[in-house]
Amino acid sequence: MKLAEALAERSDAVRRVEQLRSRVVGSARYQEGEAPAEDAAALLAETAEVLDRLESLIRRINRTNAAVVMGQDGTVTDALARRDVLRMRHAVVTSAAEAAAGRDQRARQLRSELTMLSALPVAELRAQADVLAREIRELDMRIQRTNWEADLLD
């Protein structure tokens, strides 16, 4: 199995656990004289099986991410950490540019109000955000390529 397939299976398992949780909660109590909508105990047992499979997948994915090297990006784990930080950096720079540009201020200003000035260079921040967005896209493509090339470790 490829790493990308395991990631898709993990996503499906997480979604399945949430669906089962909701069904368990909906069937945990029922009115006297009525039958429950579903067997809550059976749903809990099914949830436990899905969670066991999920734990196994997560362990194998983490082992694989720590072992597979992506060239100068380091391991997949290193690349994921880099991508997460790039996303945070992009969000901060973008927010700073929007705030400095006055996006959250009223469009008009009355003559009696004080003039608001930007404390940051908006154009430079937007250019920096563009560079960061490109870096994120490029790194994400390398991660995705690796996910489809790397075999999942046991």
The residue-averaged pLDDT of 133-140 equals: 98
pTM: 0.83
Q: 102-116 pLDDT, tens per residue?
A: 865 555 556 667 778
pLDDT beyond 70 at 5: yes
| 151 beta partners | 2
Rounded Cα–Cα distance for residues 97 and 20 (Å): 43
153 CB-side CA count, 13 A = 11
Rounded Cα–Cα distance for residues 42 and 53 (Å): 17
Q: 51-85 pLDDT, tens per residue?
A: 999 999 999 999 999 999 999 999 999 999 999 99
Cα–Cα distances in Å, from 44 out to 28, 51, 57, 95, 122? 10, 10, 20, 44, 54
Cα–Cα distances in Å, from 84 out to 3, 39, 88, 136? 19, 41, 6, 9
